[in-house]
Amino acid sequence: AQSVTQLDSQVPVFEEAPVELRCNYSSSVSVYLFWYVQYPNQGLQLLLKYLSGSTLVESINGFEAEFNKSQTSFHLRKPSVHISDTAEYFCAVRRNSGNTPLVFGKGTRLSVIA
Amino acid sequence: DAGVIQSPRHEVTEMGQEVTLRCKPISGHDYLFWYRQTMMRGLELLIYFNNNVPIDDSGMPEDRFSAKMPNASFSTLKIQPSEPRDSAVYFCASSSSGSGNEQFFGPGTRLTVL
């Protein structure tokens, strides 16, 4: 079984400041890792994913996450946030074999302050 | 591409009534997932299908919940009878075969049981 811990339920940050949203996971098997974003009253959208290869993955809107196997972490970072980044962010994992369901963390609400 | 379609977007009903949630996956996708989102428990898998066949329904809370997928383009999640603790946002997601493939989420159905 897999589990995901997002250490911060809420993160307020000023516009143009850097941010890190933390994610740790536990699994007895190899996993794929994901970050999803949920804007108010909308569904979840994939932000980025780690499947294999380079441990640093990037999204098109400036977010990046680094897979750290020894620390079982997949923290999400952005060097300079915008008001439009205000949303809820979910870290998720699933087994890396087959097309299995996602196991989600509880989410981190990012609030960007002008 | 229309994405995953869910209906209704909002449902308010009284305790004891039957509720049916509907989902149309992305054309060509052969996996369909139902998740539930609550404040207390976060996002949890209820059930998922592959090629219209239920693969894992261990997340379905109890016998009051049932899900069907009569064909590749339609799935329903039924609650009978509904209870106030069923109030949540229910998401449907679909994906294509391939272990690294993304799950695409619908906008969700917000269910309120009075």
Residue type, position B106, single letter = G
What's the pLDDT tens digit per position in B61-90?
889 999 999 999 999 999 999 999 999 999
Residue position matching structure tokens 């997601």: B93
Strands A10-14 and A108-113: parallel
CA distance A90 to B94: 18
Q: Are A27 and A11 in contact (CB under 8 A)?
A: no
> 3-state DSSP call for residue A84?
helix
Of B36 and B62, the one with more pLDDT: B36
User: Average pLDDT in the B22-32 region?
Assistant: 96
User: What is the rounded distance in angstroms from the CA atom of residue B33 to the CA atom of residue B47?
Assistant: 6
* 8 Å CB contact of B105 and A97: no
Query: Which of B99, B101, B110 is the mutation pick for testing A, counting most A CBs within 10 A?
Result: B99
